[in-house]
Amino acid sequence: MNHHLQQLAPDMFSSLKLADESHLQTPCLRVCEYAASSNGLNEANANEALDMLRQGKRYSHDLKDRLGALTDQLDEYYFQLKEQADEAVDSADRERFTSEYRDYFGKARALAALSFAGGQDGFEAATEAIYEAGASVADGTLFLTL
C-alpha cells in the first residue's frame, strides 16, 4: 500500500511502524478528535465513531460503510463547490464558493480520518487517519509533532 504519511513525514511513519497496537490508538483518537472539533463535525455517525475510538473498539462494518458514504457525499459536494468557485465571474461569489468548498473539504477529510481510524490494522488506521486529519485543517503540520 502507498503510504501518504511516509512521504510527508518519514520519521513519524517509522516511529508508528515500530509502535505496538496499544500505542497507535492514542494518536489516532487525538487527531480525529482535533479534526472533528476544528471542522465543526457534529454528525451522529462521526460522534459514534469517536465514542468507539474512545472505548478502544473497532468499528462495525455498518459504521465503516456509513462513514465512507458520508465522506463520498461531502467529497462530491466540495468538488461541485470548487468547480463553482473556479467558474465564478463575480469575486464575491468566488470567495463564497471558495469558503464553502474549503469547509466541506475539511469535513470530508475529518470524516475520512475517522473512517480510517476504526480500521482493523492499527498501523494502517493510524497512518491514514493522521494523514487525513492533517489535510482537514489549515496547519496540518501540527499533526506531525505528535
State the amino acid at position 1 in one-letter form.
Answer: M
Q: What is the pLDDT of residue 15?
A: 75
Range 87-111 average pLDDT: 94
Strands (E) located in the chain:
none
Residue pLDDT, tens place only, 107-116: 999 999 999 9
Selection from 31, 117, 101 nearest residue 68 by Cα: 117
The whole-number pLDDT of residue 72 equals: 96
56 vs 113: CA distance, rounded Å: 16
* pLDDT at residue 119 tops 70: yes
Residue range 42-84, pLDDT digits in tens: 999 999 999 999 998 889 999 999 999 999 999 999 999 999 9
What's the chain's average pLDDT? 87
**Taking residues 101-126, what's their average pLDDT?**
92
Q: What is the pLDDT of residue 12?
A: 74
Give the pLDDT score at 2: 55
Burial (CB count within 10 angstroms: exposed 0-12, middle 13-18, buried 19+), residue 57: exposed
Measured CA to CA, the distance from residue 16 to residue 8 in angstroms comes to: 14
pTM of the model: 0.87
pLDDT score for 32? 94
